[in-house]
Amino acid sequence: MSLLLYNIFLILYRLGIGIAANFNEKARLWLRGRKDWKDRLTAALGEKKAPVVWMHCASLGEFEQGRPVLEYIRKTKPGYTLVVTFFSPSGYEVRKNYTGADHICYLPLDGYRVAKDFIGIVQPDLVIWVRYEFWYHFLHQLMKKEVPVLLVSGLFRSSQPFFRWYGKLHRHMLSCFRHIFVQDEDSKDLLNSVGFSRVSVSGDTRYDRVSAIAENFQPLPLIEAFVNGSKTVVAGSTWPEDEEELDHFANSEPQVRFIIAPHEIGETHLKEMEKLFNNTVRYGEWEKRWKELQATANPPNVLIIDNIGMLSRLYHYATVAYVGGGFGEDGLHNILEAAVYGVPVIHGPVYDRFPEAIAMLDAGASFAVNNALELESTLRRMLEENAAYHEASAAAETFVRTRKGATNTIINYLEENRLLTN
């Protein structure tokens, strides 16, 4: 891709978002969040008085990957100014009030003038980009200003433009990074194949993040009251296609508790879920009436989570977990949040872009299913066959525990190369 084509792509992307905003709430949030960004950023940061670390994340999942590094910097360098940017509303809207950073905002759409102005206001001393998203003008400006840029938890595939004949522009973007930390040897080999040698295999920082959450687990009394000693399926980050695979089993097994945390919690979606599942209660209602509902002859066996932020702790209460996204084009959501508690994981068939999913399947810690019949069969085996369950549970716990350490590798690099000094 040439720079001209890239700039045309940016124009068309902006036009597409503008059209989509007429009927899509996420597109409206994307536009609204970037309105008057320059004035708001200038007012928020003011005159530079301390070193600035800027971390950019595409969305929520990438933020969770970068968070362990960010929190280390906050703990060890309390005088630093930390700036976090998101490209997607799915990340910004959930983490806009995160207290571990000094300023959180949307990254404005790439462009020569935009990138120059943004970097001129932020004046970063260190930039950390998480996993992916490569914006030419931002990276080129940072390189021109000799600002060190790191990529953490990177994951590369041979089908990406970096490794194709037309990928000259993308290979230039690679050269803008001081160092790239990747999840696996295959990614390192691909980067080496195009002449990029400043790369280390660190693993995935998500293992450190989910382990920290589990180690600092705080109980949820209302969830404990709902589970009430019953075998429980926690279904996290579900989409409608996931819920359609689950509803028959949940409706036919009233003695099993189901806790479902959908990816989207809009009112329309929640009402559709209530139609699918026969005996449901929303968390907001359970919070108000749980004693009354629990005392009925037929208490609800499906709890629909109608808020954001509980999921990582909900998996603690699971006998078995179902993780959504594997029946749709977006792909699988975070399976490590459940596995860290020693919980066997079930998911749909779309997982080939997720190396942790492939590795967990090989380790016997998770199970991929193609339809509702396979899902029900696997659920029954995990809920009824103790030997099979305990084997999968032990495999899940071991899988996460033995893969921690990516954050320390990155931190050691920062310290050894004096990238966190005034």
DSSP, residue by residue, 343-412:
--EEE-S--TT-HHHHHHHHHTSEEE-SSHHHHHHHHHHHHH-HHHHHHHHHHHHHHHHTT--HHHHHHH
- Contact at 8 Å (CB) between 194 and 165? no
In whole angstroms, give the CA distance from residue 111 to residue 117. 10
Tell me if residue 416 is catalytic: no
Residues 295 and 274 sit within 8 Å (Cβ to Cβ): no
Q: What is d(CA 18, CA 31) in angstroms, rounded to the nearest whole number?
A: 8
Looking at the chain, the number of H-run helices and the number of E-run strands are: 20, 14
CA dihedral 286, 289, 291, 293 (to 10 degrees): -70
Catalytic-labelled residue, pool 25, 62, 224, 243: 62
Tokens representing 174 are 């690679």
DSSP assignment, residue 336? Answer: H
Strands 126-130 and 149-154: parallel
Q: Which residues are catalytic, by number?
A: 62
